[in-house]
């Protein structure tokens, strides 16, 4: 069988509408899960929602009925704490029933606080400790070259996560090997767990760092669906380098009292805050 | 109970004893510094940071660097308390712990926060049930598993005064304050928390409280259980273990994997010195999703589960 490209059947303007609608659903569903579990990482769920919606509903090639199809595009959620958004997009994409989202972090649930590939389809590797996604993605991309496959490999990292040295070991290998079908997306929300990234261990100039490691770099607004579709959907064949997309985002994006507020890294909403947020997420 | 704050129902989060004691030590000795990995909040070091911003070295999310930086600070005459979730401190930075701290024998104090299954629903990546197993073979590394706020304070004070590498588990699971009969902890000396003759339960950390309740449960059916507080993993109180075997049956209880931790240490000692029937209570491997209490119940890390293990060990007496 052949895998369909998610972007094939819908025209440009409709595609943007579809991605926008999916991103909204991700935010509403993730926040509902976090509210019910009274656990989770909603700030990072919201900053990543538009990126995830773009990948799964505008860019990636996959078949939820055959989740380990050898030709599938791979996605790795390296910022594994943001399972509210990740599980939501997987459910919307058809990997498991949306009703299962209700079990988020409940005893014996397959929806563990961090993703487990042995529990659910659509998960490539177990993440949670930061700085693990990119090395695995590099291995997947090398395997793609060895087997002459044309799948693409995407990995989403946090920005604070890039303080882990393992990312830079992997980046060096990706640049050295010119893994052009590999794309790193940095959720550049400028906040980590306890503070701003630049006040903790500064990352800027981040684009120069990736360039120095052999990447082609694109800096975009990580909430602009047209820009995300453009940059992530572009055919990598003509490029002789891996791609790093620095997606400038807002942690907590979409809910006024959560935006750019570090306390929502793992903050959980009261009933009133939840109601207010759902009102804003339309 | 000098350094602790009660949470609710008379229970304590040992991280409070940790941070208050560290602040008291830092106040008295300017060599005391903290090293963290974006873990100021989870280590409860907000107060330390406010008082001594320049003495709190936050290296960002970079545990390997964090431990190496700790070793460097010790080289420069500081007394670094490296504080990080135990899973990342001991797992991610294991080689730094081995080479830069234990093997180099440097004056670094490693504080493994929220160890065991303290992170509950966040799952096995965030659990630290392997730490005792992979630290135990590291020579030089004094390893302490406190059970309550007083012992946590004692461990931190010991670490500051001691010249050499130390690892301390700092639990977040709410525990009561125990009634200790000693006025300070001494390296390699266990504390017998309850005398008993039919079986000895050797426990540490959060599990000590459950072991004491198990002994009460056993007493109701006429079984006399000794409870020994194995607060020191290294140096190990070998004589106390051999002595415990005098009851004819031994049970170990730890908030850790049953492979290689306290159970492993006791089993090695008994096999070499005084073999008796033994049962181990702990986690068999990666655990499923669940709250901390759900997981304790699920794997029998409860008074009832420990009592059952004790009865089983007794039934195997020759
Ligand atoms: C190796 C490791 N160290 C520490 C943590 C604890 N932790 C979880 S999320 C987080 C902050 C992540 O910040 P960032 O990468 O910027 O993610 P985002 O802002 O998108 O949530 C930290 C320190 C972890 N999960 N893994
Ligand atoms: Mg961030």
Q: What is the pLDDT of residues A46-72, one digit of tens each?
A: 999 999 999 999 999 999 999 999 999
Residue A130 belongs to domain with CATH number:
3.40.50.970
Question: Is A2 domain-assigned?
Answer: no
The reported pLDDT for the residue numbered A1 is 44
> For chain B, what is the HEC assignment?
CCCCCECCCCCECHHHHHHHHHHHHHHHCCCEEEEECCCCCCCCCHHHHHHCHHHEEECCCCHHHHHHHHHHHHHCCCEEEEEEEHHHHHHHCHHHHHHHHHHCCCCCEEEEECCECCCHHHCCCCCECCHHHHHCCCCCCEEECCCCHHHHHHHHHHHHHCCCCEEEEECCCCECCCCCCCCCCCCCCCEEEECCCCEEEEECCCHHHHHHHHHHHHHHCCCCEEEEECCEEECCCHHHHHHHHHHCCEEEEEEEECCCCHHHHHHHHHHHHCCCCEEEEEECCCCCCCCHHHHHHHCCCCHHHHHHHHHHHHHCCC
CATH of the domain at B137: 3.40.50.970
Distance A44 CA to ligand 2 centre (A): 7
Structural domains in chain A (count): 1
A3 occurs within a structural domain: no
For residue A163, the chain B residues in CB contact (below 8 A) are 38, 59-62
Report the gap between the CA of A77 and the closest CA in chain B (Å): 14
Number of separate domains in chain B: 2
Residue A237, both tokens: 């064949």
The answer to whether residue B4 sits within a structural domain is no
Q: Residue A140 — pLDDT band, cuts 50, 70, 90?
A: very high
CATH number at residue B311: 3.40.50.920
pLDDT at A13: 85
Q: B46 and B159: one domain?
A: yes
B152 and B215 belong to one structural domain: no
pLDDT at position B3 is 45
B-chain residue closest to A127, CA distance: B125
- Most ligand 1 atoms within 8 A of CB, residue of A45, A77, A79 to mutate: A79
d(CA B243, CA B265) in angstroms, rounded, equals 15
pLDDT above 90 as % of chain A = 95
Is B188:B162 a contact under the CB 8 Å cutoff?
Answer: no
Quick one: B218 and B159 in the same domain?
A: no
pLDDT digits (tens, 9 = 90+) for A80-122: 999 999 999 999 999 999 999 999 999 999 999 999 999 999 9
Contact B41 A127 (CB under 8 A): no
Q: Which residues of chain B make contact with A129, given a CB cutoff of 8 A?
A: 87-88, 91-92, 125
B240 found inside a domain: yes
**Structural element, H or E, at residue A156:** strand A153-158
**Which tokens belong to B143?**
């390893």
User: Does A7 score more than 60 pLDDT?
Assistant: no
Cis bond leading into B235, ω under 30°? Answer: yes
B109, β-bridge pairs: B81, B166
B57 with B165, same domain: the answer is: yes
Question: CB–CB of B289 and A110 under 8 A?
Answer: yes
B59: chain A residues, CB-CB within 8 Å: 163, 201
Closest to A62 measured CA to CA, from A32, A89, A23: A89
On chain A, the residues whose CB falls within 8 A of the CB of B119 are: 113
Q: Do A128 and B289 touch (CB under 8 A)?
A: no
pLDDT of A176 higher than 60:
yes
Q: Range of A17's domain?
A: 12-280
Domain limits for position B310: 191-315
Q: Is residue B166 part of a domain?
A: yes
The pLDDT score that the predictor gives to residue B318 is 81
Q: Hey, are the CB atoms on A111 and B289 less than 8 Å from each other?
A: yes
Position B276 in a domain: yes
Rounded to an integer, what is the distance from CA B32 to the centroid of its chain?
22
Closest-CA residue of chain B to A192: B38
Q: Which residues in chain B have their CB less than 8 angstroms from residue A131's CB?
A: 61
Min CA distance, B275 vs chain A (Å)?
38
Residue A6 has pLDDT above 70, yes or no: no
Nearest to B61 among A106, A112, A163 (CB): A163
Q: Does residue A62 fall inside a structural domain?
A: yes
- Is the pLDDT confidence value at A168 over 70? yes
DSSP A192-229: -SSSBHHHHS---SHHHHHHHTT-EEEEEETT-HHHHH
Q: Do B35 and B65 sit in the same domain of this protein?
A: yes
Hey, which residues does B35 pair with through a beta bridge?
A: B57, B82
Q: Ligand 1 — pocket residues by CB below 6 A? A: A 41, 44, 47, 79, 81, 128-131, 158-161, 187, 189, 191-193, 251, 265; B 37-38, 61, 63, 88, 92
Q: Is B201 within 8 Å of B278 (Cβ atoms)?
A: no
Using CA positions, which residue lies closest to atom 21 of ligand 1?
Answer: A44
What ipTM score was computed for the predicted complex, to two decimals? 0.96
Determine, yes or no, domain membership for A7.
no
Contact A216, A189 (CB under 8 A): no
Structure confidence at residue A8 as a pLDDT band (50, 70, 90): low
The shortest C-alpha distance from A146 to chain B (Å) reads 30
Phi, psi of B197 (to 5 degrees): -125, -20
| pLDDT confidence of residue A4 | 67
Q: Which residue of A has its CA nearest to B61?
A: A163
In Å, how far is A192's CA from the nearest CA of chain B? 8
**Spatial CB neighbours of A249, under 8 Å, sequence gap ≥ 6:** A47, A48, A50, A51, A187, A188, A189, A222, A223
Q: Is residue B36 part of a domain?
A: yes
Across chain A, mean pLDDT equals: 96
Q: Three-state SS for A173? A: helix
Residues A75-95: b if buried by 16+ CB within 10 A, e if exposed: bbbbbbbbbbbbbbbbbbbbb
| Chain A touched by B246 (CB under 8 Å) | no
Determine which of A80, A157, A200, A267 to mutate to test the interface with B (most B C-beta atoms within 10 Å): A200
C-alpha distance across the termini of chain A, in Å = 38
Indicate the helix (H) or strand (E) that contains A89: helix A83-92
- Tell whether B163 and B196 lie within a shared domain: no
Which helix H or strand E contains A171, and what residues bound it?
A: helix A165-176
- Determine whether B24 is exposed, middle or buried from the number of CB atoms within 10 Å of its CB (0-12, 13-18, 19+): middle
- pLDDT of A41: 98
Residues in B closer than 8 angstroms to A109, CB to CB, are: 289
Identify whether residues B94 and B197 lie together within a single domain.
no
Reading phi first (left if > 0) and then psi (alpha if -120 to 50, else beta), residue B183 is in: alpha
With an 8 Å Cβ cutoff, are A108 and B38 in contact? no
Q: Flag residues of chain B having pLDDT under 50.
A: 1-4
Asked if the structure places residue B178 within a domain, the reply is: no
List the beta bridge partners of residue B111.
B83, B168
Question: CB–CB of A249/A48 below 8 Å?
Answer: yes
Q: Encode A23-54 in three state secondary structure.
A: HHHHHHHHHHHHHHHCCCCHHHHHHHHHHHHH
Predicted confidence at residue A12, as pLDDT, reads 81
Distance (Å) from the alpha carbon of B294 to chain A's nearest alpha carbon: 7
Q: What is the mean pLDDT of residues A2-11?
A: 62
Rounded to an integer, the average pLDDT of A162-179 is 98
Best CA proximity match to B58, nearest among B90, B83, B79, B78 = B83
**CA A129 to ligand 1 center in whole angstroms:** 8
Tell me which chain B residue has its CA closest to the CA of residue A130.
Answer: B61
Ligand 1 centre and the CA of A161: distance in Å?
A: 6
């Amino acid at each position: 069988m052949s895998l369909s490209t998610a972007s094939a059947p819908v025209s440009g303007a409709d595609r943007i509408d579809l991605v926008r609608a999916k991103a909204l659903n991700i935010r509403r569903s993730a926040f509902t899960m976090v509210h019910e579990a009274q656990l989770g990482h909603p700030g990072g769920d919201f900053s990543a929602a538009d990126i995830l919606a773009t990948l799964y509903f505008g860019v990636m090639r996959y078949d939820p009925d055959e989740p380990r199809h050898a030709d599938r595009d791979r996605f790795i959620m390296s910022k594994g704490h943001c399972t509210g958004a990740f599980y939501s997009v997987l459910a919307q994409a058809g990997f498991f029933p949306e009703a299962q989202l209700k079990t988020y972090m409940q005893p014996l649930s397959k929806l563990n606080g961090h993703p487990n590939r042995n529990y659910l389809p659509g998960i490539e590797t177990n993440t949670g400790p930061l700085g693990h996604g990119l090395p695995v993605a590099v291995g997947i991309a090398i395997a793609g070259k060895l087997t002459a496959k044309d799948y693409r490999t995407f990995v989403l990292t946090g920005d604070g996560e890039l303080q882990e040295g393992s990312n830079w070991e992997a980046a060096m290998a990706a640049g050295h090997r010119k893994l052009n079908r590999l794309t790193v997306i940095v959720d550049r929300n400028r906040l980590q767990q306890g503070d701003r990234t630049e006040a903790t261990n500064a990352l800027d100039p981040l684009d120069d760092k990736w360039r120095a490691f052999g990447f082609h770099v694109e800096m975009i607004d990580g909430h602009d669906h047209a820009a995300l579709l453009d940059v992530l959907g572009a055919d990598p064949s003509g490029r002789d380098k891996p791609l790093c997309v620095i997606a400038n985002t807002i942690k907590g994006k979409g809910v006024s009292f959560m935006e750019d507020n570090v306390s929502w890294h793992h903050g959980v909403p009261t009933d009133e805050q939840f109601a207010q947020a759902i009102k804003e997420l339309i | 109970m000098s350094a602790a704050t009660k949470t609710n129902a008379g229970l304590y989060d040992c991280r409070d004893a940790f941070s208050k004691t560290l602040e008291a030590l830092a106040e008295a000795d300017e060599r005391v510094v903290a090293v963290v990995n974006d873990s100021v909040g989870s280590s409860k070091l907000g107060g330390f940071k406010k008082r001594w911003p320049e003495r709190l070295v936050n290296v960002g999310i970079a545990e390997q660097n964090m431990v190496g930086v700790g070793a460097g600070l010790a080289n420069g005459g500081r007394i670094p308390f490296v504080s990080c979730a135990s899973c990342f401190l001991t797992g991610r930075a294991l080689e730094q712990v081995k080479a830069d701290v234990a093997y180099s024998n440097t004056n670094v104090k490693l504080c493994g926060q929220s160890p065991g299954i303290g992170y509950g629903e966040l799952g096995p990546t965030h659990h630290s049930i392997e730490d005792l197993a992979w630290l135990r073979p590291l020579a030089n590394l004094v390893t302490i598993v406190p059970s309550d706020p007083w012992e946590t304070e004692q461990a931190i004070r010991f670490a500051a005064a001691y010249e050499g590498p130390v690892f301390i588990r700092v639990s977040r699971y709410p525990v009561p304050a125990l009634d200790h009969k000693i006025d300070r902890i001494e390296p390699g000396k266990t504390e017998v928390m309850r005398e008993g003759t039919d079986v000895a339960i050797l426990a540490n950390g959060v599990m000590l409280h459950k072991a004491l309740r198990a002994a009460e449960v056993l007493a109701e059916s006429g079984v006399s259980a000794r409870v020994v507080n194995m607060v020191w993993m290294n140096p190990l109180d070998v004589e106390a273990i051999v002595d415990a075997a005098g009851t004819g049956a031994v049970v170990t209880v730890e908030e850790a994997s049953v492979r290689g931790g306290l159970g492993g240490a006791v089993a090695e000692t008994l096999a070499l010195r005084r073999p008796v029937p033994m049962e181990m209570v702990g986690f068999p491997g990666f655990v499923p999703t669940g709250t901390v209490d759900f997981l304790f119940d699920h794997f029998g890390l409860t008074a009832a589960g420990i009592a059952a293990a004790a009865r089983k060990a007794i039934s195997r007496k020759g």
